[in-house]
Each structure stands twice: as C-alpha cells, then as structure tokens.
Structure 1
Amino acid sequence: MSNAISRHRSKVTPLQIVGIAILAVGAIGMVAPFLWMFITALKPASAAYDLPPNWIPLDFEWGNFLKAINGPLPLLTNMFNSLLIAVITTLGLLITAPMAGYAFARLEFPGRNAMFVALLASLMVPIQVTIIPLFLIMRNLGLINTPWSLILPSITWALGVFLMRQFFLTLPKEILEAAKIDGAGPWTTYRLIALPLVKNGLSALGVIAFLNSWNAYFAPSIFLNSQDTATLPLALVLMRGPFSTGQVNVIMAATALAVIPALVVFLIAQRWIIASMTQSGVKG
C-alpha cells in the first residue's frame, strides 16, 4: 500500500515535464551570455570574432586579465571607486529606509497617507527628469567629479522605503503594543523590537541597493568626468575606444572582473532574498 502511494506521488505528469523544459530553456538563455563572456575573455584577439563562434577556446589567454588590469585605464582604481560608492550607499540606505518605512507603517502623524502617495508617485518619475536639477545642486555644493555626488542622492530611495514599510506591516501589532505597555517609546520599539524582526528584509534591501549602485551607469556618466574618479561601468565603456576599436577579448576580461563581485554577493545572499519575499507578501 505504501509503495503504491509513493509511486503515485513520484509520478511526473506531462505538464510538469513541459514546465521543466521551459525552465531549462530559460536557464540556458540566462547562463549563455555569461558563459560566452568568460570564454571570449580567454580567447586570443584573432579568435574573438570567429564565425561560426567557437565555444571551446583552442588557446587560453589568461594574460587578457592582466592586460585589462594594466591597460591604459586604472581598472583597479575604478573598481575601488565602485566598491566605495556601493558600500557607503548601501549602509546609508540601510539606516534611512527602515526608519522611514517604520514611520509609514506603524506611526500616526498628520499627512502620512498623502506623503506616502507622493512617495509612490516619485517611483514613476525617471531619473532623466530630475538629473538636471540634481546636477545643479551638486555643482553648487562643489561635489561634481567626486563620489559624494553619487552617494548623497542615493542614501534615500523611495523603493527602499516602500519595501521596508511592507515588511513592518507584516509584524503582529500585539508585539508592538506589548512593548508600548511596558513603557518603550517609538524609538526603543523600533530599535529593539521591530528592526530585528525584519532582518531578512534588511538583507534583501542591502543586496538590491549594492547591485543597483555597482551596476549604475547613467548617473556616474553625468557626475564623473575623469578616468581616476570613474566607476567600473564607465571604465568598461571607455575601454571600447573610439569607434569600438578596443580589443573585445580584453574588454570581456574586464567585464568578467566586474561581474564576479556581483555574482558572489547574489549567491551569498540569495537565501535572504527568498526569505524576505516569503515574509513580506503583498500586505499593505
């Protein structure tokens, strides 16, 4: 009897097979560009444009990575610039977004709903609309061509506030009310009770903020205007050279160096992202 039940449960339906096949095709489509990038990074320049393309290099040119690092652009400096901006931006956002999210979720104050609607409306405004006023502000502050021109506008983020509000809404009211009965004020309740309970949300927000800053191109291209202060995405574009005359294998090697930290961060933190999605739901 138990064997029959187990066989029945382990039977794979045709619909499941179709679903697995579709997921497999999608996975191949997502992995193929990364695989091609790493393969091209190991090819000699003469084989980078081979047609039909060769997925297995005959000669492995590990020196392409040294050429990318020791090339005309200070790639390691550019990587450090991106890392510095991403880390400070992420830390700043992890301070401001939870406080604002908790206020919108659990505190009563005049104009809360109207302010939250305005916050959501700001998500629909593209950065290209606000970039000129922001540039003028940064120029008046003397921050153009410095990392602070990218850090200061990014330590507050409407999407981060919205995400944290959703996490705080999932907390049972009884816990917060019990803290209030015990004499805890709003700040104590937030710091000692609410914040530790949304650590999955904080982790997910930190990963999203880091990757968003690490991959940013538009804002750095406006505020930064020298090779020494450029971030990694800007450096990769500059490596193409005039009329895209740069060596594609060296560019791919530099791109691989840029992608590896982002992949490592995502692989380490993916369990927190999944846990945060399970916790937050769509409440609110």
Structure 2
Amino acid sequence: MNWKVLGSSAFIWAGSIVTSPNVMSVPIVTLASEYDADIRLADYWMSEKLDGIRAFWNGYALLTRSGKPIHAPTWFTEPLPEFPLDGELWIARNAFNDVQKTVLDNEPDDAAWRDLFFMVFDTPHVPSVFPERLAKLEQWHKESPVKHVKVVSHRSIASESALFDYLESVVDQGGEGIMLRKLDTRYRVGRSDDLIKVKRHQSQEVTVIGYKAGKGRLDGLLGSLWVESDDGLRFYVGSGFSDEQRRSPPVLGSKITIHHNGVTHNGIPRFARFAHIRRPE
C-alpha cells in the first residue's frame, strides 16, 4: 500500500497526491463480493456484518467509502490515530436509518453522535496480511482506548456448516449477515474476494424511475416502484412498504436498497422487496 500522510491538507494515496478528501471519485476502501460456495473457507476469518455506514479515517478526516467528508463532531475524531482506519459507523442492530440520518447530515447533531460507535476492522497502513493488520489495531486500541471506538472481533471458520450456523445465530438476533476477510493478502482498494459478504438474502441498490398505482386495498396508494439497476435491468418492486411509505413513496431518481433471493435466468431479482431509501454517501 502506497500511503504517506503529508500533513493536514494532503496525503499520498496509491501514488497520487490528494489535497482534499472532496476530490476523490473512486472507492477508497476494499469492497465486498458475494459469497461463492467454491471459496476455501480456511483462507478466511469471519465477523458479523454491521448494518451501518462505511467510514474511512485517513489520519485527519473521516470519509465515506467513496471519499466524501463525514461531518463528525470534533470530540469524535480528536482521539483517532494519525494512521488510517477502515470501519463502520454503527449504533445497534436494526438501527440503520438512525445511523444514516446522523452520519450524512452536514451539521452534526452532537447528541445523536453520542449513540454512534466506530467499529474498526482494518488498517491499510500496515503493509502485511490481515491477521497482522488486525493485531496492530488491537494493540493500538489497548494502548489508547477510545470509548466510542471498538475493534471488530474475528474468528476462524471450521467448516461451511459452522459458517452457516453462525449466520443463523447472527440473523436470529437481528443481525444482517457475515463478513469474510481473506488472511493472506495485503489491503487492496476495490472489489475482490479479499472481502466477502454472506447473507440470508442479497441486497442491491436500484434507482426509482416510475410508479405503478395500487388496486383494491391499495387504491390511491403506491402499488409498485418501477426501478432500474446499475446494469440497466428494469423491474417492479411491490412489497416491503409500509402504508406510510405507500402514501409518500421515494422520489423519482432516488436510490433505494432492495432485498431479493437470487435472480431469474434473465437476471431479474427474485422476490424483490423494498428495504430502505439510500441517501448518497
């Protein structure tokens, strides 16, 4: 990893000098791929997938996964180290909407931020494999404990049945799923099999491009959203909405997250249902 902090206004990222976090236009973190039964589980450790907002501390500023600034209170960022941290801003299970509202506001709500934890799981500045990066994180946190920062615990995977037993346990307690991190690679930016997500269902972001009116009990309300995926597929999403959401549906052009269970032979998500509106990060 080619990383060097130059001061309060510039740093080197992958060989390029960046003078402000606002100029980043590509993902600055490792992104997760979907689980494939062909992977060798002995090459990975697992941890709970936290349903929050991905956050990257670059040594002086807190950023979203795409490099946009997060407006956190000074007391939240002041105790963070001079080296980078990769993690998730999180409150608790089933609290994503509260996290999103707090983290993506331009004016930080001090009281709301008091409920947030920075759950860190990696540090790109250590030019080594994941267990050694995690050990460095744990050493730093032990020597310089911060109340609102926690290091995410990881465990080895004995077998695929153990993996799915853990998944069922997490989901039954209100969790979202499991993350797998590859042990023998250095930190890499972008999507690869270094980081894999395992869920009961799959998630996908789509864009709202139209509406279909409801019928019967839903007369006068939203029946379905007409949406488009990033690869141009168009389909309806008609379940998962509350009556209030059907009265006031997501606006045209907005991004929403849907859950589904696999895809058809045409690539259309099976049993697609609305999860939540996704504000830009």
By the TM > 0.5 criterion, same fold?
no
After TM superposition, the score normalised by the length of structure 2 is 0.24
Which has the larger share of helix?
1
